[in-house]
Structure 1
Amino acid sequence: MIKRKPNRRPDAPSRSFRPSGGGGGAVWLYGRHPVEAALRNPERAILDLHLTPEAHKSLDIPLPVAPRIVTRADLDALLPSGAVHQGFAVRVGALEGPEVGDLPGLAEGLERAVVVVLDQVSDPHNVGAVLRSAAAFGALAVVVQDRHSPEETGTLAKAASGALEVVPLVRAVNLSRALEDLKSAGFWTVGLDGHADLNIGEADLPERAVLVLGAEGRGLRRLTAEACDLTVRL
C-alpha cells in the first residue's frame, strides 16, 4: 500500500496567482480549431475576427462580431511568419481563469478530479499538447509556473487545438507552495519520472490527484520531486 509523505506545511495559506492569460493583453489566435473554440466560448472576449471567404462559408455557428473578409495573403501579413491559419484568425482578450486556491472548490461534487502541474515546461507546443491531453481525460486545470512558462499565444493555442478554451491554464508564482496548498486541500501529488521504480499502471491513484510533469530534457526539479507524495514512470 502506498503511504503518503507528511505534509510539511499543513497550515500553509493560499498565495496569490495570476489569471490564465498571463500578461492580460489581447492576442491573435489562428487556425480553425482554436478560432472556432474561442467563438464558442462565452467567457472569451472576441475583439476582431478575420476570415477568408472559404473559412467564413464553412462556419455554421453564430458569430459574436461581424467578420472582416480577407485574403490568405492578408492573414499571412497579419500573423507571425509561418503561422498555419487555414483562413481563420481572431483577436481575443485573455481568459480570466481560476487561481490554485479555487481548484479544491471546483473539485467538489466530482467523483474524480485531476490537476496537471508543469514544472518549468517552456515550449508552447508542449504546453499546448498537454492542454489537449488534459482536455481529453477531463482534467480540472493545468497549472504552470509564472516565470518559466509561455504566455497565451497563437502558437500555444494552435498546439492545444481548442483545449485552451476548455481547460483552465492557471499560473502560479511559487510552484512548490501551490503543490503544498493542493496537498493541504486533500490532493495527492504524483510526480512523473522516467527513473521511478513504480509504473503508473501499478499505482493506485487517489480520486484527488495532481500529476506533476517536469521540464523538457531535465525532468522534475529536486524540490518539486521532494514535494510529491510519490513518483511514478509512464
Structure 2
Amino acid sequence: MWLPLVSSLLTGMLIGLDRELQGKPAGLRTHTLVCFAATLLTLAAAHQAQWAVNLIPGTQVVSDPTRMAHGILTGIGFLGAGVIFREGSSVHGLTTAASLWIAAALGVVYGVGMFGVALVGTVATLVVLIALRLLYAVLPRSSGLRLTITVNEGAGLDAGAVRRLLRSHGLRDQPLSQAFDSRSRTIQFTTSTYSRNTIDCDRLAEALRAHPAVVSYTMLLIEDTGATAMPERDG
C-alpha cells in the first residue's frame, strides 16, 4: 500500500523539479501533489468494496476503478487549462499542462500496481522534458513575422515589389493581402511570413523607412520562445 504512494511522490517531484527549474507556474509542489493525489484516489477506488462495506454493512458494491481514472484525468484538464495563457501571438504553458496530465496518468498507473509501466513512463517523460529540450536548443530555429505596410498608391511599391523586398531580407513568399483606402489613396499590404534564420528586423525596418512610398508599417516578430512587438512607424 505504501510503495505506490512513495513512488508517486518521487515521480511527481522529478517531473515537477524540471518545471520548477524552468520557472513555470506549476512546479515542484504542484506536480508532486497531482501525482500523489491521483495514486491516492486510484487506491481508494480499487478498495471501494472494502471501505463501502465498512460504512454500510451488508451492502453489495460493484467496483469500477476506471471511472475514478476517467474522473482524475478529466479534472486535471481544468488544472492544465489554468497554466495555459496567450501573450500576443504566442501560446505559453502547453508543455506544463501536458506534464501535469502525464503526472496524473502516472499516479493512476502507480495506483493500480503497474510499477514497470509507471517506471517506463517516468523515464520517457523525463527524456521528453530534458533530453529533447537540449536537442531543441541546437536545432535550426525558424522565426515568423507579421507585417503590415501602408504605401501611397502609384508610388512604385506594388505587391510584386513588396514580395521582392521581403525575399531580399531572407523571408519566404507567403500570401499577401491588400486593402485600398480611397480617401487617403493608400494601399495596405498584410502578410505573415517566416525565415529559417533569425530575422533582422532592424535592417528590414530601415529599408521600409528609407522607401519613399511607405507611409507606415507595423511588424510583429514571432519566434519559438515568444513574440516581440516592433514599434510602428507612421510618417
Q: TM-score w.r.t. structure 2 length?
A: 0.23
Q: TM-score w.r.t. structure 1 length?
A: 0.23
Higher Cα Rg, which structure: 2
Higher relative contact order (CA 8 A, sep 6+): 1
- Structure ranking higher in helix proportion: 2
